[in-house]
Amino acid sequence: MAHAKETPRQKLIGMMYLVLTAMLALNVSKEVLNGYTAVNDTVVSSNGDFTEKQKTAFDSFLKEFTMNKIEVEPFWNKAKVASKLSSDMSKYIKDFRDELISITEKVPMDSARNLSMEDMRKKDNYTIPTAFLIGPLENGSKGKARELKQKIAEFRKKISGLVQPSTRKNLSLGLGTDDDFKDAFGKKETWERHYFYDLPLAADIPILNKFITEVNSAELEVVNALLRESIAEDFKYDRIEAKVLPKSNYIFSGEDYEAEVIVAAYDTSHSPKPSVYLMRGVDSLSSDQRANAMQVKTEKGRLNIKFPANELGLQKYAGFVSVPTSSGREKMYHFNSEFFVAIPSMTISPTYMNVLYVGVDNPMSISVTGIPKENLIPSISIGEIKQSRATGEWVAVIPNGAKEAIVSVSVKTSNGIKQMGSFKFRIKKLPDPTPTIANKKGGFITKESILGAGQIIASMPPEFEFNFNFKILSFKLIMERGFETYTYESNNENLTDEMIQQIQRTNRGQILTFENIIALGPSNEKRELPSFYITVK
């Protein structure tokens, strides 16, 4: 449409109008930008509120987990997965947001992370954000927003999959990426275009922060749903009684008796089926072990356990009570306990003798009524007391020079270490062994028997029950031929070749004398044994 020629005055008025219009438009843009800033501040503040709500939810969850660890643990683990998914997704969106700010403001990423909206110089710029987020195609399929959409959809699928299908349909997660999005004219458009097309940076930032809010909200929604799934339904009870639970059924003189008094509620009209599963010798019993466990019945709501005490020491058992709820769901309550089985009185005695011998392992029997072997702490005033690797029994080792030893016993109890008593022992050296050859220490013996034996043996007395053998280190053989005396020496327990030759030449009635017999005893102590002689038969 053609216009008439304008006068200079009309041109001036028209130009002023355009300037005024531009100024008005500029003022509106500033108000809108300020509005975006206010909205963003509100969104960021709400994210801080979610942090406190999430902490409260996890505190409640932790309380349930502590009270019923085995049953709640699967839900607790899923809650931790939900927290990890939320944390990772929030970090991704924050990095996404900071990258957008960095590209638009033309500043490094580290600067973009700390840049407030008030300090942004290009928060009204929509060209750069649109190119970054939407890309060359108007539907946004080639822009960065498509990647964001896929990440959000993946997060939503994973976190909702942590709860049961029946619970999942009632969740309010937000973050919908497949909704029916339409523009101002009612025309259908993509998720990317709906949120990010032709919008300034000041609008994109609160939108991304809003997604972070929805991620936090989804985590809180799922964690609370998992908590509800882990909590058992309430039960009705028709009998309440006080119960006394002693800390120990066996105490020592001078100790305090301790017990816990609780109020027990139970239902005499309802008998759980099955009621109790139990297994001995274990610290815990899971539900998948019920086929191998012992089933215990109830009587009028009471559960009684009875074990024969046919084994000594610490005895453990564990189990769970299975209770069907009103909704038909099985709820399990796990328990475990232990008790001690022991013979009465304290015993400290050597296994073989009434004394302790120097330099050898003296087996000892040590026990205290009601206390398992692993809780005994024996000690000795001189030497060492230890457990034998071969038998597991206690042995005492005494050094030279001692005349007596005191063996004391302490025990580990729930109240700490308690002294039980002591016993005094005399200390002796092992008696000297008797040297023999062919089981003879004198009298008549054939030279064939002498040569067949071939060595001197140090034999302990028959009444001596201790398991220790001396070793012959050396000896001398004295023989007389006519008016001459011949001496032959051996540096071990065996007859030398020369001795054997001389014995073969002996006649009936020939006397063989063995003397200077040196034997090695305990603690490498050398002893000279008494001489002996035999007559060739």
Q: Against a cut of 0.75, is the pTM above it?
A: no
Asked whether the beta carbons of 506 and 450 are under 8 A apart, the reply is no
How many CB atoms within 10 Å of residue 122?
17
pLDDT value of position 513: 93
**What is the mean predicted confidence (pLDDT) over 285-302?**
72
Asked whether the beta carbons of 81 and 160 are under 8 A apart, the reply is no
Q: How far is CA 88 from CA 5, 82, 83, 248, 478, in A?
A: 66, 10, 9, 50, 96
pLDDT value of position 495: 94
pLDDT value of position 271: 47
Reported confidence tier of residue 202, pLDDT bands at 50, 70, 90: confident
Residues 424, 382: Cα–Cα separation, whole Å: 11
pLDDT value of position 120: 85
pLDDT at position 232 over 50: no
The residue that leads in pLDDT, 447 or 229, is: 447
**What is the mean predicted confidence (pLDDT) over 336-357?**
63
pLDDT value of position 17: 43
pLDDT value of position 490: 94
**What is the mean predicted confidence (pLDDT) over 129-150?**
87
Reported confidence tier of residue 344, pLDDT bands at 50, 70, 90: very low
Q: Which span out of 181-185, 221-225, 266-270 was modeled with the highest average pLDDT?
A: 221-225
pLDDT value of position 95: 92
pLDDT at position 233 over 60: no
What is the percent of the chain where pLDDT is above 70?
A: 73
Asked whether the beta carbons of 283 and 314 are under 8 A apart, the reply is no
Residues 149, 361: Cα–Cα separation, whole Å: 78
Check residue 427 and report its DSSP letter: E
The residue that leads in pLDDT, 101 or 242, is: 101
Reported confidence tier of residue 484, pLDDT bands at 50, 70, 90: confident
Asked whether the beta carbons of 502 and 493 are under 8 A apart, the reply is no
Beta bridge partner(s), residue 437: 440
pLDDT value of position 489: 95
The residue that leads in pLDDT, 236 or 473, is: 473
pLDDT value of position 478: 94
Asked whether the beta carbons of 128 and 104 are under 8 A apart, the reply is yes
DSSP per-residue letters across 151-220: HHHHHHHHHHTTS-HHHHTT------SSS--B-TTS-B--HHHHHHTT--HHHHHHHHHHHHHHHHHHHH
In this structure, of 77-81, 97-101, 195-199, the range with the lowest mean pLDDT score is: 195-199
Mean predicted lDDT score pLDDT of the chain: 78
The two most distant CA atoms of the chain are separated, in Å, by 172
The answer to whether the Cα torsion of 35, 36, 40, 43 is positive or negative is positive
The residue that leads in pLDDT, 281 or 26, is: 281
How many CB atoms within 10 Å of residue 202?
24
Beta bridge partner(s), residue 411: 376, 418
**What is the mean predicted confidence (pLDDT) over 60-69?**
77
The 3-class secondary structure across 423-453, one letter per residue, is EEEEEECCCCCEEEECCECCCEECHHHHHHH
- Give the phi and the psi of residue 332 in degrees, each rounded to 5: -115, 135
**What is the mean predicted confidence (pLDDT) over 97-126?**
86
pLDDT at position 303 over 70: no
**What is the mean predicted confidence (pLDDT) over 290-308?**
68
**What is the mean predicted confidence (pLDDT) over 476-504?**
91
- DSSP-derived 3-state class of residue 522: helix
pLDDT at position 51 over 60: yes
Q: Which span out of 20-24, 95-99, 238-242 was modeled with the highest average pLDDT?
A: 95-99
**What is the mean predicted confidence (pLDDT) over 344-369?**
71
Reported confidence tier of residue 361, pLDDT bands at 50, 70, 90: confident
pLDDT at position 32 over 60: no
Check residue 118 and report its DSSP letter: G
User: 513-526: buried (b, 16+ CB within 10 Å) or exposed (e) per residue?
Assistant: ebbebebebbeeee
Give the containing element (helix H, strand E) for 478. strand 471-481
pLDDT value of position 363: 84
**Minimal CA–CA distance to 192: which of 179, 210, 206?**
179
Give the containing element (helix H, strand E) for 498. helix 497-504
Reported confidence tier of residue 492, pLDDT bands at 50, 70, 90: very high
The residue that leads in pLDDT, 217 or 6, is: 217
